Amino acid sequence: MARNVTNQRKLINTVLAWGIGLLIFFPILWTILTSFKSEATAIADPPVFLFFDWTLDNYRVVQERSDYMRFLWNSVIIAGGSTLLGIIVAVPAAWSMAFVPSARTKDILLWMLSTKMLPAVGVLYPIYLIFIKMGLLDSRVGLTVVLMLINLPIIIWMLYTYFREIPGEILEAARMDGASLKEEILYVLTPMAVPGIASTVLLNIILAWNEAFWTLNLTAAKAAPLTAFIASYSSPEGLFYAKLSAASTMAIAPILILGWFSQKQLVRGLTFGAVK
């Protein structure tokens, strides 16, 4: 029986949802608005919200000073590459943990997650030295591998959770029909887990896109992604908020657009299995 929801309650819920939504979105909105202000207006006290002389000058300066496309391309390669590599490694791992668990599977899952609890700076120097030895500093290959390894526990955990929702009997049926292990994973399991894999991919692209510690520490000029692009607009002496906001807006725009178009998939994937 459907719950009896009054119009008043609906109104309150709607207003509340919009309020919370706007509150969460406000910092991004403020960044976008600041990017259209002059440096003097950006620091005005009291702050100016909408009524100011809108200008595209900050975007012009940022375009002149930085090769945005090079940073963007690096971000696409590093975020996309690390996620794809991660999925390739994680699908078989999650399959084995979900469908042929051993006595230690739970321990392994927890151990993998525990690596996320280590502060990144704790392993900066070992990784930095390894990168020097292997000639991987400031290379997209090196950064792709590092980001893949960093996000791998999350990818495996997410896929493991989705795979557990898929009845093992279906895979068993495929095996009885003569499917090999490869065919079972490729043609039976993967198509059924597409919503889960898609949301995992999206979430990991976002995580890799926004990753700022390793991308700032292991890159210089060639492999620097958009996080380095943003960092270059912070200044110790001089006004920079408007230009920094323009750079930030340009850096988050692609991922915002991706998130906007895939939000249905993202929500579906994230709530997959929540309601049976």
Partner 1 sequence: MTLRTAFCAASVLALATATGAFADSHTTTLTIATVNNGDMVRMQGLTDDFTAKNPDIALEWVTLEENVLRQRVTQDIATKGGQFDVMTIGTYEVPIWGAQNWLVSLNDLPAEWDADDILPAMRGGLTVDGELYAAPFYGESSMVMYRKDLMEAAGMEMPDAPTWDDIRAAAEAMTDKDAEVYGICLRGKAGWGENMAFLSAMANSYGARWFDEEWKPQFDTDAWKATLTDYLDLMNNYGPPGASTNGFNENLSLFQQGKCGMWIDATVAASFVTNPDDSTVADQVGFALAPDKGLGKRGNWLWAWSLAIPAGSDKVDAAKKFVAWATSKEYTALVAANEGWANVPPGTRTSLYENEEYTSAAPFAEMTLESINAADPTNPTVDPVPYTGVQFVAIPEFAGIATQVGQEFSAALAGQQTAEEALEKAQALTTDEMEAAGY
**Phi-psi domain of 102 (left: phi exceeds 0; alpha: psi -120 through 50; beta: other):** beta
Among 33, 58, 62, 81, binds partner 1 (CB under 8 A): 81
Among 171, 228, 250, 252, binds partner 1 (CB under 8 A): 228
Closer residue to partner 1, CB minimum distance, 105 or 240: 240
Total chain residues near partner 1 (CB under 8 A)? 51
Closer residue to partner 1, CB minimum distance, 60 or 65: 65
Among 55, 63, 139, 210, binds partner 1 (CB under 8 A): 139
Q: Does 262 bind partner 1 (CB under 8 A)?
A: no
Of 47-55, 95-103, 156-164, 188-196: span binding partner 1 (CB under 8 A):
188-196
By CB under 8 A, the residues from 163 to 182 that bind partner 1 are none
Of 18-26, 78-86, 98-106, 267-275: span binding partner 1 (CB under 8 A):
78-86
The contacts of residue 153 (CB under 8 Å, 6+ apart) are 112, 113, 115, 116
By CB under 8 A, the residues from 34 to 53 that bind partner 1 are 39-40, 43-45
Among 235, 263, 271, 273, binds partner 1 (CB under 8 A): 235
Among 191, 264, 274, 276, binds partner 1 (CB under 8 A): 191
**CA 114/CA 35 separation, integer angstroms:** 39
Among 48, 93, 124, 174, binds partner 1 (CB under 8 A): 124
Of 223, 256, 233, give the one whose Cα is nearest residue 72. 223
Of 7-15, 47-55, 137-145, 251-259: span binding partner 1 (CB under 8 A):
137-145
Closer residue to partner 1, CB minimum distance, 169 or 237: 237
Among 3, 169, 238, 260, binds partner 1 (CB under 8 A): 238
**Site residues (vs partner 1, CB under 8 A):** 39-40, 43-45, 64-65, 77, 80-81, 84-85, 87-88, 91, 124-125, 128-129, 131-132, 137-141, 144, 185-186, 190-191, 194, 197, 216-217, 220-224, 228, 231-240
